[in-house]
């Protein structure tokens, strides 16, 4: 056991302790456990939302992409900002409706708006499907952090198990109150660590940020911009748009919206959060510094770039602090994800088919599902060979399919029927699944198209299929239901 | 739809519409390659724009009165 590991495990114990303390004296029914009793003010909602944004994905994935792909990694700074603009108008509407109807989850929203419990089941399943890669990437990050910080003495497989067990214990003990408290420590730590790394490393190795970029540009011309082909300008635009639309479609982000005290919380956050998102800039600086200093990381290994560079630069105790910050960025979102997925399965899938189940039974089932989902994710983590960002983009393509029918349901005159929403979401998700499994790109589907069209993010294609099917089905089902209504009269 | 809400479209135009023109390394501004600076500038502007929208939005004033 070295100093780095002792520090990392120290923080793990501390976060578990805070989780347990948060639970004390509170009666934990399902609403308390998941939406925190709808009593969180601006700061807590801000932290919970920020907790979702600044995950392992940012910490390791962001620097990994900067290291491995260069310019395309800039998309990470752009999309959050656009999502936040939409949040100003979108979230108050969602929050208000949810409060009036006492909703607890994202699929409750669809059930209530479209008057269809089975649409809720579909939305839940899409949510869980998208959450699995998201949880996998958190566990992958945890595994990397612990095994790297142990200087090889703990294998990454063992580290992944340790991570999964801690996240599970954490969620089962404390629910959302624990997440909020740990989010406070996590955000302070990640802020400090990332700024220190992002400022210190470029100065230490190159004497400044601009000299660092110039050295990278000289060694690898074109690396700092978007390439002509592949992850080109049109890839950038379509990816930023897709991820911005999907941002609040994640079931756990949707759930965090419910925990706000009032709707102005969101409008205020839309002003502050863009600035807060600039922390990501420092993560990118670390990744770009690593380009010429850490050699030979390829494929999924690019996610190690931040940790490798830290190890070769700092003393073990500081590596421990970095690792602890990384650990918290995985545990807080990881616990939110696990809790959300378990609640969705219990309440929005199981209860629909067994309506007689008591609230207590549902609540217990949700808690039993937590370790099961954790094990499933560990399985995929040990299997997979994708980078953290690739996993995230896959999840995004899935949840974004919920956006069209959600947005239209907020309109006064919604032309989409429940059949339309059902068909649209299904066709969108199937398109994503097909594209992912067969590794199709627009280029392989339509080789004759100009490169600008070929490079579009495939999630956009799925979204297009989704909207088309949704519209056609809605119009047809509307007409047939009208005919049915008129027939008895005639 | 209130007219000040249209301000919210500016960052979309700036980031998504501007990127084909901003996709270059030089000139370096504040130590960053131009493309990165361009995006960062829009993030900062977004915060300002949303502050203006918040100030002018009648929806927030109504609640304050309550």
Q: Do B19 and A225 touch (CB under 8 A)?
A: no
Are A376 and A436 members of one domain? no
Residue B65 pLDDT: 44
Q: Do A209 and B19 touch (CB under 8 A)?
A: no
Last residue of a domain, one of A347, A370, A385: A385
* Chain A residues in contact with B63 (beta carbon < 8 A): 262-264
A230 occurs within a structural domain: yes
Q: How many Cα atoms within 13 Å fall on the side-chain side of residue B62?
A: 4
pLDDT tens-digit readout, A344-359 = 888 888 888 888 888 8
User: Mutation test of the interface with chain B: which of A242, A264, A271, choosing the one with the most B Cβ atoms within 10 A?
Assistant: A271
Q: Which of B19, B20, B50 sits opposite A88 (nearest CB)?
A: B50
Buried/exposed A374-387: b ≥16 CB within 10 Å, e otherwise: beebbebbeeeebb
Backbone angles phi, psi at B49, to 5 degrees: -60, -45
- Which ranges in A101-230 belong to alpha helices (H)? 106-114, 117-149, 156-206, 209-219
Q: Which whole-number Å values give the CA distances from A306 to A255, A290, A309, A334, in the listed order?
A: 31, 7, 5, 20
Residue A460: is its pLDDT beyond 80?
yes
Q: Do B43 and A224 touch (CB under 8 A)?
A: no
Are A450 and A371 members of one domain? no
Are A7 and A88 members of one domain? yes
A409 occurs within a structural domain: no
Distant-in-sequence, close-in-space partners of A284: CB < 8 Å, separation ≥ 6 = A62, A63, A66, A73, A74, A76, A77, A198, B36
* Chain B residues in contact with A272 (beta carbon < 8 A): 47
Residue A201 pLDDT: 93
Q: Contact, B52 vs A271, CB < 8 A? A: no
Residue B66 pLDDT: 42
Tell me the mean pLDDT in the region A187-215. 89
Q: Contact, A423 vs A473, CB < 8 A? A: yes
Are A179 and A230 members of one domain? yes
Q: What is the mean pLDDT of chain A?
A: 82
Q: Contact, A284 vs A77, CB < 8 A? A: yes
Residue A212 pLDDT: 92
Q: Contact, A201 vs A291, CB < 8 A? A: no
Q: Which of B33, B44, B53 sits opposite A88 (nearest CB)?
A: B53
At A443, the pLDDT band (50, 70, 90 cuts) reads confident
Shortest distance between the Cα of B61 and any Cα of chain A, in A, equals: 10
At A25, the pLDDT band (50, 70, 90 cuts) reads very low
At B63, the pLDDT band (50, 70, 90 cuts) reads low
At A96, the pLDDT band (50, 70, 90 cuts) reads confident
Sign of CA dihedral A144, A150, A152, A155: negative
Are A359 and A420 members of one domain? no
The residue in chain A having the minimum alpha-carbon distance to the alpha carbon of residue B47 is A271
Tell me the mean pLDDT in the region A34-46. 58
Cβ neighbours of A144 (radius 10 Å): 27
Residue A175 pLDDT: 64
Q: What ipTM was estimated for this complex?
A: 0.89
Residue A180 pLDDT: 63
* Chain A residues in contact with B53 (beta carbon < 8 A): 88
Q: Do B19 and A233 touch (CB under 8 A)?
A: yes
Q: Contact, A110 vs A421, CB < 8 A? A: yes
Q: Which whole-number Å values give the CA distances from A142 to A16, A60, A63, A162, A379, in the listed order?
A: 16, 10, 15, 9, 15
At A427, the pLDDT band (50, 70, 90 cuts) reads very high
Shortest distance between the Cα of B21 and any Cα of chain A, in A, equals: 10
Residue A489 pLDDT: 46
Percent of chain A past pLDDT 70, that is, above it, reads 88
Are A421 and A375 members of one domain? no
Q: How far is CA A460 from the centre of its chain?
A: 18
Is the Cβ of A71 closer than 8 Å to some Cβ of chain B? yes
Most confident of A33-37, A399-403, A484-488: A399-403
At B44, the pLDDT band (50, 70, 90 cuts) reads very high
Q: What is the mean pLDDT of chain B?
A: 83
Domain count across chain A: 2
Q: Which of B36, B43, B50 sits opposite A270 (nearest CB)?
A: B50
Last residue of a domain, one of A340, A367, A385: A385
A272-276 contacts: CB < 8 A, separation 24 or more?
A272/A46, A272/B47, A273/A46, A273/A49, A273/A50, A273/A80, A273/A84, A274/A80, A274/A81, A274/A84, A274/B43, A274/B44, A274/B46, A274/B47, A274/B50, A275/B43, A275/B44, A275/B47, A276/A50
Domain boundaries, position A136: 3-385
Q: How far apart are CA A416 and CA A408, in angstroms?
A: 7
Tell me the CATH number at A193: 1.20.1730.10
**Whether residue B27 has a cis bond before it, omega within 30° of 0:** yes
Are A372 and A421 members of one domain? no
Q: Which whole-number Å values give the CA distances from A45 to A232, A256, A345, A414, in the listed order?
A: 35, 7, 24, 30
């Amino acid at each position: 056991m070295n100093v780095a590991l002792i520090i990392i495990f120290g923080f793990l114990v501390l976060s578990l302790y805070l989780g347990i303390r948060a639970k004390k004296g509170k009666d934990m029914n399902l609403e308390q456990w998941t939406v925190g009793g709808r009593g969180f003010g601006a700061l807590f909602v801000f932290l919970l939302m920020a907790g979702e944004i600044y995950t392992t994905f940012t910490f390791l994935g962001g620097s990994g992409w900067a290291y491995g792909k260069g310019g395309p990694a800039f998309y990470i700074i752009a999309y959050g900002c656009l999502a936040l603009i939409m949040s100003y108008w979108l979230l108050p509407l969602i929050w208000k409706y949810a409060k009036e109807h006492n909703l607890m989850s994202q699929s409750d929203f669809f059930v209530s708006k479209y008057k269809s419990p089975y649409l809720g089941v579909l939305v839940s399943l899409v949510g869980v499907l998208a959450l699995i890669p998201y949880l996998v990437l958190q566990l992958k990050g945890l595994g990397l952090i612990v095994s790297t910080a142990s200087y090889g003495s703990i294998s990454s497989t063992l580290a992944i198990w340790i991570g999964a067990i801690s996240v599970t214990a954490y969620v089962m003990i404390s629910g959302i109150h624990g997440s909020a408290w740990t989010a406070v420590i996590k955000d302070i730590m990640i802020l400090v660590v990332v700024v220190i790394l992002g400022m210190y490393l470029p100065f230490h190795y190159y004497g400044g940020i601009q000299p660092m970029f110039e050295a990278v540009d000289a060694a690898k011309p074109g690396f700092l911009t978007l390439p002509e082909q592949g992850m080109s300008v049109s890839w950038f635009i379509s990816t930023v748009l897709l991820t911005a639309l999907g941002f609040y479609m994640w079931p756990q982000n949707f759930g965090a919206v419910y925990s706000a005290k009032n709707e102005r919380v969101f409008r205020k956050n839309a002003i502050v959060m863009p600035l807060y998102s600039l922390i990501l800039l420092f993560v990118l600086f670390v990744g770009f510094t690593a380009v010429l200093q850490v050699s030979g990381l390829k494929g999924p290994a690019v996610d190690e770039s931040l940790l490798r560079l830290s190890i070769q630069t700092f003393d073990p105790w500081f590596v421990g602090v970095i690792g602890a910050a990384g650990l918290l960025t995985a545990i807080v979102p990881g616990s939110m994800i696990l809790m959300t997925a378990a609640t969705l399965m219990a309440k929005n899938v199981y209860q629909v088919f067994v309506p007689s189940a008591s609230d207590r039974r549902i609540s217990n089932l949700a808690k039993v599902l937590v370790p099961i989902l954790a094990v499933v994710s560990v399985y995929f983590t040990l299997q997979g060979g994708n980078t953290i960002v690739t996993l995230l983009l896959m999840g995004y393509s899935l949840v974004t399919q919920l956006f069209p029918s959600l947005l239209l349901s907020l309109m006064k005159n919604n032309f989409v029927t429940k059949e339309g929403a059902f068909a649209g979401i299904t066709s969108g998700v199937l398109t994503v699944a097909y594209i992912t499994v067969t590794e199709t790109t627009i280029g392989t589907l339509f080789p004759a198209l100009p490169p600008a069209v070929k490079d579009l993010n495939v999630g956009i294609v799925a979204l297009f299929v989704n909207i088309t099917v949704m519209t056609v089905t809605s119009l047809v089902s509307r007409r047939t239901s009208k005919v049915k209504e008129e027939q008895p009269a005639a | 739809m209130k007219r000040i809400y249209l301000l919210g479209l500016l960052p979309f135009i700036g980031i998504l519409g501007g990127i084909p023109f901003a996709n270059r390394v030089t000139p370096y501004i504040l130590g960053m390659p131009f493309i990165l600076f361009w995006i960062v500038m829009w993030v900062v502007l977004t915060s300002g724009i949303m502050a203006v929208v918040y100030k002018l939005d009648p929806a927030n004033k109504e609640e304050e009165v309550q």
